[in-house]
Structure formats: structure tokens, C-alpha cells
Amino acid sequence: MKLSIVIPCYNELNTIETVIEAVRNCPYPDKEIIVIDDCSTDGTRDRLRQLEPLVSKVIYQAQNQGKGAAIKAGLAAVTGDIVIVQDADLEYDPDEIPKVIQPILDGKADVVYGSRFMYTDPHRVVAFWHRLGNRMLTTFSNMLTNMNLTDSATCYKAFRTEVIKSFDLKEKRFAFCPEVTAKVCKMKCRIYEVGISYAARSYKEGKKIRWKDGLAAVIAIIKYNLFA
């Protein structure tokens, strides 16, 4: 089966080349790599033009729209049987992609979430309030979906392509996560979780998500579970 790796990117000049190299070296034989630059202003876009021969496709957004919009643009271009989202900041290790998609390859799952909270090996400690917020959002989402996910906000979400392409995705920013979670649950997809490592960045190191994104996630959880 062919794997499509979608990499949304915004102002990641310091890591984008390393991420592309790591994804290229990911131990999965048949894959395509699609990078979506969300109108970066730090030189990332110029660097991507130099790196274009190393990936299957680079999409340059005309204006900054957000991670969800970038993912949606990438999904429109994928040709693989399985899709996984890979952030461009190296918080998630591309070497673990085969582990995340394995339940789909085994025919057990339609969707797989890579859970940062199921990982038991040594890992970097994350900020307390960020982790608490993550837990609260996941718990609230679980209450409305009647699921028992441990990490609904994870970047590593893998899908059978026909599943993710069946959704009319609306959210342009980080609320993509609660939207897609609500929709896969409503579709009664077979959802698996796999423990993954997580090398969290601090805000000083370039982390972008803010409290406003948490509020937008709460609104999205309510909207897509109760009213959509």
C-alpha cells in the first residue's frame, strides 16, 4: 500500500530540511511526501524551493490560513492508500510512522492516533498547563463521542485515504483535530491508538499553539458533535 505523508509547515526554517530528510529515511518503501507551506515569512518558503526535488510535491499557500487549511490542501493532492500528518517541527519522530500505520496495514483500523500519553520509554517532560489542557480537551471530546481516546490532539493521525477524503473539512486552524475526531467517531470508524514518543518544544523554541486555540477546540468539539 502506498503511504502519503502530509507535512503542514509555517515558519520552520530551522527544522524543515531535517524533517524532510527524516521522512525520506522513514523505513516504509512506498511513500509520497507532500509539504504545504502556509505562507511562511522566515525564509522557509525559499528553502523549500531548493528542497523541492527531494519530495513529491510542495504546495505554496497564497496566504497564511492555518494548519487545518494546510492539511486540507495537502489531502487534495495525495495519491496514497494511507495518509498520515507529520508536523514540521520534529516534536514527532518520523521513524515511528510505520508503527502508527501498522494497524491499518493489518486491516484492523480505519484510523490510528499516535498517543503521547501511552508512551512509557524515557521522554522529555512537557509543560504542566499544556498537558493539563490537552487532557481536558480529550476528556471533553470523549464525553461527547463516547470514546476513550487518550490523546485526541496528537499530530500523528493516520487514515485510510478514502475515510479522510470523505469528510468536508471546515476548520482552518488547530480545531482541525476536534473536527476530524468528531467525524471519524460519527462514521463509526475503527479507531486504534499507538504509543509514540514526543520531544515537546517550548514557546521560546517556536511552539505556536496558544490558549485561543484551546478555546476554539472547545467550540469545535461542541459544534461537530452536537450540531453538525
| Strand (E) or helix (H) holding 216 | helix 211-222
Determine the Cα–Cα distance for residues 216 and 178; give it in Å rounded to an integer. Answer: 9
Whole-model pTM? 0.92
pLDDT in tens for each of the 228 residues of the chain? Answer: 999 999 999 999 999 999 999 999 998 999 999 999 999 999 999 999 999 999 999 999 999 999 999 999 999 999 999 999 999 998 999 999 999 999 999 999 999 999 998 866 655 666 666 778 889 999 999 999 999 999 999 999 999 999 999 999 999 998 999 999 999 999 999 999 999 998 865 545 555 566 688 899 999 999 999 997
Helix (H) or strand (E) holding 218: helix 211-222
Domain count for the chain, please give it.
1
Cβ neighbors of 158 (< 8 A, separation 6 or more) are 82, 83, 84, 100, 101, 104, 111, 112, 114
Give the sign of the dihedral formed by CA 54, CA 59, CA 62, CA 64. Answer: negative
Residue 126's domain comprises: 3-227
Sequence-distant (≥ 6) Cβ neighbours of residue 223 within 8 angstroms:
none
Count of CB atoms situated within 10 Å of the CB of 89 = 23
CATH number of the domain residue 159 falls in: 3.90.550.10
